[in-house]
Amino acid sequence: MKIIIDAMGGDHAPSAPVAAAARAATELNANIVLVGKQDIVEKELAKYKCDRSKIEIVNADEVIENTEEPVKAVKTKKNASVVVAANMLKRGEGDAMLSMGSTGALLTSGLLIVGRIKGVHRPALATLLPSAKGAKMLIDAGANTKCKKEYLLQFGIMGSIYMKNVLGIENPTVGLISNGEEEGKGDELCKETYPVLKASNLNFIGNIEGRDIMEGTADVMVTDGFTGNVILKTIEGMGHVVSDGVKEIFSGVLHKIGALFVLNGIKNFRQKMDYREYGGAPLLGTRRPVIKGHGSSDAKAVFSAIKQAIKFVDTDVIQSIKNNIDSMEEETDD
Amino acid sequence: MKIIIDAMGGDHAPSAPVAAAARAATELNANIVLVGKQDIVEKELAKYKCDRSKIEIVNADEVIENTEEPVKAVKTKKNASVVVAANMLKRGEGDAMLSMGSTGALLTSGLLIVGRIKGVHRPALATLLPSAKGAKMLIDAGANTKCKKEYLLQFGIMGSIYMKNVLGIENPTVGLISNGEEEGKGDELCKETYPVLKASNLNFIGNIEGRDIMEGTADVMVTDGFTGNVILKTIEGMGHVVSDGVKEIFSGVLHKIGALFVLNGIKNFRQKMDYREYGGAPLLGTRRPVIKGHGSSDAKAVFSAIKQAIKFVDTDVIQSIKNNIDSMEEETDD
């Protein structure tokens, strides 16, 4: 098992990816490839005691920033860390790749370099969200702004496979995000997709609404990448506001004394809502496992994402997707 | 000033609307019309000491439930409280109407009975959301699933007028909700709408993303009713989960002692995030003021919505909309 990590991507790069790699080399049964500026990564890695035989550093002189236009950047910066990592994955020089850098650059690298599984219309970004009933999947969380019903069906299939294989949920429920519960509610895409999901062999529970997302009504929440992106970022933004609010509550001296009494409660709640526990967002539909870690990932979050990548490989998600897409009625791939 | 209230709509009807009406008759300079089942409303109102000369009860034997198909219900239940209220408003037997009942039924009543302002393509539901920077408007929050760029321009105009007149915000900023900040990011509707908003005399600040919603980046957040509904309900759902989480934090005995120390902090935070402080959601673009109160409104929330209705009337929002729509380039009304 070998996990390729973009050591230069993310708000806390290279320190967080390198620290997580050092820990993974010690605690997990996996080899790690760190892709990034050799001298910087070497220097960072020297801070940790770890089994160096399990960590390889591959040089990549360039970095793609969040502000760059992804397709152009991936095509021109051949020596960017994410591009080098994707090419290694494509050539089979690793079993999965992970980047905390530009989402657009990773999606583009996944699509153009790693490539789609035959029969998959569009790979989709699948994010695990905390909910009142545990981790649930939002797919597509932003890879495809414009979608068709055939794409959404495949999002449901790929998401169900991931939730079953990686999270161990038997027969995961699938909901279609809409602005009303009844069949026939929604935009054109919802109206077209509902009967397709209903006729499939997925465990489809019908339309779900915004309030169902954090309630955890469905294990797999299917939507187009525009709506999914807006939902994901709305939740992230609200998380910040709530988190700042909680900090404010405990800011005064008396309040700090109060905080001592409720530390456990706060800890439990924060843990439940902590994205770092949930690993990264898998890009589903590519030929080999590609995972997007959160841009603000600290070492703990990167470590979770590495564990997730290992499980992604170990549970044969890609092969299951291939089998399921193959067994579907042959459709024209556009 | 006379406010017409659907006394039968909402989770806490008729008690919450009636209690709020009694308080409004005492504290506010307005007359109230309560529309609902005469005997039930009479009996409820008898619980309160108030100036009965300022409260009128108008009988309406039927109620439209949330589960009913709105257009059909409004057309067939001529004696439903929301329909009777809308007809009174249309005839000028009141200055504004307020309902906590079925959103669909109120939107339909507003559209079909009260009617659109000439030149307005589609009235839109405008919700005030709490944010880190105070109350901000989301428009359209669910009235129009399918939208065109001309509608979204008018949503921006109507929303800006409301925020200026009712909330006193000079030159309110307008953002277009999208899945990326740059011009050119977004679905087809976003791409078409961006240049239209840019060319308008609105204080347009460009695309905003999901994370900007609770950050309060823009005073008026323009989107289609599908996306707006999903956003609104996602936020409401997350609010419940967070609220339950905070309750859990303070559930144990030690935790309750801790809570005593932080009561003020919690109170401040909850107040900031409390939708009840923000009144209801105005339907903008109808000939007379129509306001949707939250379904779960208690008496305090209904009272806030009554105050908001009075301000809606007092600050001539409708006349301002008429003036602005008139001064726009004449467009074909579809």
Q: Render each residue's pLDDT in chain A as its tens digit; 334 residues.
A: 999 999 999 999 999 999 999 999 999 989 999 999 999 999 999 999 988 999 999 999 999 988 889 999 999 999 999 999 999 999 999 999 999 999 999 999 999 999 999 999 999 999 999 888 889 999 999 999 999 999 999 999 999 999 999 999 999 999 999 999 989 899 999 999 999 999 999 999 999 999 999 999 999 999 999 999 999 999 888 877 777 766 666 666 656 666 665 666 666 666 666 666 677 899 999 999 999 999 989 999 999 999 999 999 999 999 999 999 876 644 444 4
**B102 and B171 belong to one structural domain:** no
The residues, ordered by sequence, that sit 6+ positions from B91 with a Cβ below 8 Å of its Cβ are: none
| Chain A residue with minimum CA distance to B272 | A245
Chain A residues near residue B261 by CB distance under 8 angstroms? 254-255, 257-259, 261
Q: Is B133 on the interface with A (CB under 8 A)?
A: no
At A333 the pLDDT is 44
C-beta separation of B101 from B64 below 8 A: yes
C-alpha to C-alpha distance for A320 and B80, rounded to whole angstroms: 54
Domain end position, chosen among B260, B277, B294: B277
Residue A309: strand pairing partners = none
Q: How buried is residue A46: exposed, middle or buried, by Cβ count under 10 Å (0-12/13-18/19+)? A: exposed
Please judge whether B269 and A146 are an interchain contact, meaning their C-beta atoms are less than 8 angstroms apart.
no
Please judge whether B262 and A258 are an interchain contact, meaning their C-beta atoms are less than 8 angstroms apart.
yes
Q: Is B226 on the interface with A (CB under 8 A)?
A: yes
At A250 the pLDDT is 64
Domain end position, chosen among B238, B253, B277: B277
Q: How buried is residue B85: exposed, middle or buried, by Cβ count under 10 Å (0-12/13-18/19+)? A: buried
Tokens of A198: 């209903």
Q: Is A227 on the interface with B (CB under 8 A)?
A: yes
Q: Is B188 on the interface with A (CB under 8 A)?
A: yes
Q: Nearest by CB to B258, from A248, A261, A272: name it.
A: A261
**B182 and B303 belong to one structural domain:** no
Domain end position, chosen among B233, B250, B277: B277
| Chain B residue with minimum CA distance to A177 | B230
Q: Is residue A14 part of a domain?
A: yes
Q: Nearest by CB to B249, from A215, A230, A265: name it.
A: A265
Say which residue the tokens 């820990």 belong to: A23
C-beta separation of A230 from B179 below 8 A: yes
Chain B residues near residue A255 by CB distance under 8 angstroms? 261-262, 265
| Chain B residue with minimum CA distance to A267 | B249
Q: Which of residues 6-35 of A touch B (CB under 8 A)?
A: none
Q: Is residue A329 part of a domain?
A: no
C-beta separation of B197 from B218 below 8 A: no
Q: Is residue A323 part of a domain?
A: no
At B236 the pLDDT is 86
At A237 the pLDDT is 86
Q: Nearest by CB to A212, from B237, B246, B250: name it.
A: B237
C-beta separation of B215 from B133 below 8 A: yes
Report the candidate in A70, A54, A46, A58 with the shortest Cα–Cα distance to residue A7. A58
Q: Nearest by CB to B231, from A210, A245, A268: name it.
A: A210
Domain interval for residue A2: 1-117+285-316
**B200 and B268 belong to one structural domain:** yes
Tokens of B328: 């726009």
C-alpha to C-alpha distance for A133 and B74, rounded to whole angstroms: 38
The conformational region for residue B128 under phi > 0 = left, psi -120 to 50 = alpha, else beta, is: beta
Say which residue the tokens 């905080």 belong to: A259
* CA-based nearest distance A290→chain B, Å: 22
Chain B residues near residue A248 by CB distance under 8 angstroms? 265, 268-269
| Chain B residue with minimum CA distance to A227 | B227
Q: Is B199 on the interface with A (CB under 8 A)?
A: no
**B4 and B91 belong to one structural domain:** yes
Neighbours of B33 (CB within 10 A): 22
**A160 and A274 belong to one structural domain:** yes
**A100 and A129 belong to one structural domain:** no
**A53 and A89 belong to one structural domain:** yes
Give every residue of chain B whose pLDDT is below 70, as ranges.
245-277, 327-334
The total number of residues written for chain B in this structure:
334
Q: Is B241 on the interface with A (CB under 8 A)?
A: yes
Which strand ranges, in their side-by-side order, compose the sheet holding B203-208?
B55-59, B31-36, B2-6, B96-99, B290-292, B281-284, B124-129, B136-139, B220-222, B173-177, B203-208
Please judge whether B234 and A225 are an interchain contact, meaning their C-beta atoms are less than 8 angstroms apart.
no
Q: Nearest by CB to A226, from B142, B187, B240: name it.
A: B187
Q: Is residue A150 part of a domain?
A: yes
- Name the domain count of chain B: 2
Q: Is residue A11 part of a domain?
A: yes
C-alpha to C-alpha distance for B184 and B200, rounded to whole angstroms: 17
C-alpha to C-alpha distance for B245 and A267, rounded to whole angstroms: 11
Please judge whether A249 and B269 are an interchain contact, meaning their C-beta atoms are less than 8 angstroms apart.
yes
Q: Which of residues 154-183 of A touch B (CB under 8 A)?
A: 177-179
At A262 the pLDDT is 60
Q: Is residue A332 part of a domain?
A: no
SS3 A65: coil
**A102 and A134 belong to one structural domain:** no
At B29 the pLDDT is 86
* CA-based nearest distance A189→chain B, Å: 11
> B178: domain CATH number?
3.40.718.10
* CA-based nearest distance B124→chain A, Å: 15
Question: Which of B146, B226, B248, B266 is the best substitution to test chain A (most A C-beta atoms within 10 A)?
Answer: B226
**B226 and B296 belong to one structural domain:** no
Chain A residues near residue B234 by CB distance under 8 angstroms? 210-211, 213-214, 231, 234-235
C-beta separation of B191 from B184 below 8 A: yes
At A136 the pLDDT is 95
| Chain B residue with minimum CA distance to A212 | B237
| Chain A residue with minimum CA distance to B103 | A180
Q: Is residue A100 part of a domain?
A: yes
**A141 and A271 belong to one structural domain:** yes
**B115 and B125 belong to one structural domain:** no
Q: Is A226 on the interface with B (CB under 8 A)?
A: yes
Which strand ranges, in their side-by-side order, compose the sheet holding A281-284?
A55-59, A31-36, A2-6, A96-99, A290-292, A281-284, A124-129, A136-139, A220-222, A173-177, A203-208
**A113 and A137 belong to one structural domain:** no
Q: Is A247 on the interface with B (CB under 8 A)?
A: no
| Chain A residue with minimum CA distance to B176 | A230
Q: Is residue A76 part of a domain?
A: yes
* CA-based nearest distance A222→chain B, Å: 13
Q: What ipTM was assigned to the predicted interfaces of this complex? A: 0.88
Please judge whether B231 and A230 are an interchain contact, meaning their C-beta atoms are less than 8 angstroms apart.
yes
Please judge whether B230 and A230 are an interchain contact, meaning their C-beta atoms are less than 8 angstroms apart.
yes
Please judge whether B262 and A250 are an interchain contact, meaning their C-beta atoms are less than 8 angstroms apart.
yes
